[in-house]
Structure 1
Amino acid sequence: MADEDKFAIHAAARDGRVTAVESLLAANPKLATWKDDDGRLPIHWAASYNHHEIVSLLTQQKGFDPDVQDDLGWTPLMIAASVKDADKVVDLLLARGADVSETNNNGQTVLHFLASKQNLDLARKLLEDQKPPVSTRVKDKRGQYPIHRAAAVGSVPLINLLLKHRSPLNPSDNAGQTPLHHAVAEGHGEAAFALLKAGAETDKKDSDGFLPLQLAPSADVRNYILRKAEEEGIAISV
């Protein structure tokens, strides 16, 4: 069988061709569980491109596994959570039993991706409405928690949400950097200030011996953080 025929369902799922997916499954239901040369099943492609109807169709196949992983360990839920405006696909996968605690080959959960994408609404849903909720205390293979990512992208609402749900505040990643290091290094003064208000330690050095404030990319960022901290009576190690 030629690859273009063998992986026709993957292409149809990627392109959003519902009728083609239906016809291929009718001819051979096992196609739903075939991996292509990228190590993905059709549902991974459908989730990647936010094709809700095709995801729904594939989840109804006999033996469907909501947590099936591609060769990188990504589940359909992880992929959908990384796609803009894919809330309907995410809701569908959750309704079909997707496990929010699954980790990929890098040790990342869906919450790591939500933090990176600043998807506050979905993060709130998985932390406050999902039972059991997704954990804020899973460390990936780089030693990073979701709060490291929220700090790196400068999302104050996500930082506060994660802390509300028992995220560690001062964990060091494999480079010795805390969320405060990441916020400062990326120039996110408001995020750094949010961490400081929550009690972030300012005297922890990273693996290269740098304090968080020493990583400020400019004098403006450094001075802003110092000024805001002074207004709140927060002492900072410099």
Structure 2
Amino acid sequence: MDSNQKFALHEAAREGRNQVVESLLNANPKSAFVTDDDERLPIHWAAANNRLPVVELLVASKGFDPDVADGSGWTPLMIAASLKDAAGEAIIDLLLRKGADVSMKSNTGQNALHFASSKSNISIVRTLIANKCSARVKDKRGQLPLHRAAAVGSVPILKMLLEEGKSPVNATDGDGYTALHQAIAEGHGPAAILLLKSGADPLKRDNDDKLAIELVPDDKVMPSHMLGWFELTIFVIHTQVKQFILQTAEREGIELP
């Protein structure tokens, strides 16, 4: 049997060919549990490509496990949580109804909240927290979902993780970064201010002995005449971010070093 025949269900699931999926399942129900060369089952491909009708067919299979992991330790729930623009919301709702375990972690120690936070999927973060997915789990890099939300600058997700998820605001990752370090390093001024207002400690230093505010270049980094157009653009953006943080913090009565 060649690879195309062996993994026909995987291909049909990936491409969203519902009738083919149904026909293949009827002919051989066990094909739903065959791992392909990418160490994935058909359910993983269906979730990754947002094929809700196919997911509905696969979850109805006898012996279906909603927490089955691929070679990277990603469950269908994690995969759906990582889709852009919260596209996997309906799949997540279905998997949760089928008993998906929100506490599952990938091989790198991330839970579904890490993935949803990284993609700024606000509605999915809300759903996961409501279903007791922990915002206090660190991955193997020492990062919380809060670090991932800070890295993408999502103020709404930061608020949910802190207020509803009870995430610690000053937790550090393997580099000694707090979420505040992460937000400022990525140039997200409003996220930095939200964290400061939520109790982020501006005096915490990372493993390189850097304060969070020091991760944005100041006007002494390099004279503008030595910068090219691209470098000058980034330089101006970073300088504006620093000014925004300093000025807003002062208005809010937040003392920065």
TM-score tier, shorter chain, comes to: over 0.9
Q: Does 1:55 align with 2:69?
A: no
- Aligned-pair Cα RMSD in Å: 0.9
Task: Give per-residue Cα distances to partners, 1:123-152, cap 9 Å, x unaligned.
Answer: 112223x2xx11110000000000001111
Partner of residue 156, structure 1: 155
User: In the aligned structure 2, how far is the partner of 1:178 from the partner of 1:31?
Assistant: 45
Task: Give per-residue Cα distances to partners, 1:89-109, cap 9 Å, x unaligned.
Answer: 111111111111110000000
Q: Does 1:226 align with 2:246?
A: yes
Partner of residue 67, structure 1: 67
User: In the aligned structure 2, how far is the partner of 1:59 from the partner of 1:146?
Assistant: 28
Partner of residue 105, structure 1: 107
SS in 2 for 1:98: coil
TM-score (norm 1): 0.96
Partner of residue 140, structure 1: 139
Q: Does 1:118 align with 2:120?
A: yes
Q: Does 1:236 align with 2:253?
A: no
User: In the aligned structure 2, how far is the partner of 1:144 from the partner of 1:225?
Assistant: 23
CA drift at 1:23: 1.4
Partner of residue 95, structure 1: 97
Greater mean deviation of Cα atoms: 64-73 or 75-84: 75-84
Greater mean deviation of Cα atoms: 171-180 or 216-225: 216-225
User: In the aligned structure 2, how far is the partner of 1:154 from the partner of 1:160?
Assistant: 11
Partner of residue 17, structure 1: 17
Q: Does 1:172 align with 2:172?
A: yes
Partner of residue 206, structure 1: 206
Aligned residues: percent identity?
56
TM-score (norm 2): 0.89
Task: Give per-residue Cα distances to partners, 1:154-201, cap 9 Å, x unaligned.
Answer: 011111111112101001100111000000011100000000001101
SS in 1 for 2:137: coil
CA drift at 1:53: 0.8
Letter in 2 for 1:149: R
Q: Does 1:80 align with 2:80?
A: yes
CA drift at 1:87: 1.4
User: In the aligned structure 2, how far is the partner of 1:72 from the partner of 1:86?
Assistant: 19
User: In the aligned structure 2, how far is the partner of 1:32 from the partner of 1:67?
Assistant: 14
Partner of residue 197, structure 1: 197
User: In the aligned structure 1, how far is the partner of 2:116 from the partner of 2:140?
Assistant: 17
Dislocated runs of 4+, deviation >4 Å:
none
User: In the aligned structure 1, how far is the partner of 2:123 from the partner of 2:48?
Assistant: 19
Greater mean deviation of Cα atoms: 105-114 or 22-31: 22-31
User: In the aligned structure 2, how far is the partner of 1:172 from the partner of 1:126?
Assistant: 23
User: In the aligned structure 2, how far is the partner of 1:232 from the partner of 1:16?
Assistant: 51
User: In the aligned structure 1, how far is the partner of 2:22 from the partner of 2:127?
Assistant: 32
